[in-house]
Amino acid sequence: MTATTGDPGEQRALAALDVARVPHRVLRHGPVGSLAEAAAARGVAPADVVKTIVVRRAADDYVFVLVPGDRTIAWPRLRALLGVTRLSLADAGAAQAATGYVRGTITPFGSTSTWPVVADARLTGRAVTLGAGAPGVAVLVDADAVVAALGAVVADVTDPEASRPPAPPA
């Protein structure tokens, strides 16, 4: 069992990683205000800071999308993959209600609800960091082990951050 700081979100996330038998190393750092700060604090490239995005498909129906830090969701490709015509980002309150985690700490591991997971294809084959349920805590994991443990669908669902289109309408 992984030692925690006592934060309930962190305890849930790390316990879920242990139960799923996903090898991980806990990374603790102070508050960060940007992707660049998070990458520096974790000692990884920005692409290896995985954002867990909560996407709403319908009322009380969400999906987790694992996105490399230097990329953004390609909405047309994600809609096509999920077979829907409309998606929206969950706002901070809805994301917390759907997962039990505050924005910036969200991970599929230990979420209070189990949602499908889509992982961008660029994550596979390398080590990445994920939020670990509490501010200033992340885990270094093998992306392939994460994909397998979560039963994630792997697909090309992102674009480079620089070509970011506006978020879809709610």
Residue, of 31 and 146, whose pLDDT is higher: 146
Mean pLDDT of 11-23: 97
pTM as predicted: 0.90
Beta-bridged to residue 159, according to DSSP, are: 72
Question: Which pLDDT belongs to residue 30?
Answer: 85
Question: Which pLDDT belongs to residue 155?
Answer: 98
Banded pLDDT at 169 (limits 50, 70, 90): low
Tokens of 118: 């889509």
Beta-bridged to residue 51, according to DSSP, are: 67
Pairwise CA distance, residues 93 & 105, whole Å: 13
Mean pLDDT of 72-93: 96
Task: Judge whether residue 72 has pLDDT over 80.
Answer: yes
Residue, of 168 and 69, whose pLDDT is higher: 69
Tokens of 167: 């978020």
Class of 22-162 in CATH: alpha beta
Pairwise CA distance, residues 96 & 112, whole Å: 9
Is the separation of the CB atoms in 72 and 158 below 8 Å? yes
Nearest partner of 169 among 87, 94, 62, 92, judged by Cα = 87
Pairwise CA distance, residues 52 & 105, whole Å: 9
Question: Which pLDDT belongs to residue 91?
Answer: 93
Question: Which pLDDT belongs to residue 167?
Answer: 60
Average pLDDT over the chain, rounded to whole?
Answer: 92
Task: Judge whether residue 170 has pLDDT over 90.
Answer: no
Mean pLDDT of 82-101: 94
Pairwise CA distance, residues 5 & 82, whole Å: 37
C-alpha 14 chain-centroid distance = 14
- Within a 10 A sphere around the Cβ of 129, how many other Cβ atoms? 22
Banded pLDDT at 4 (limits 50, 70, 90): low
Is the separation of the CB atoms in 122 and 47 below 8 Å? yes
Percentage, residues of the chain above pLDDT 70:
92
Tokens of 159: 């674009």
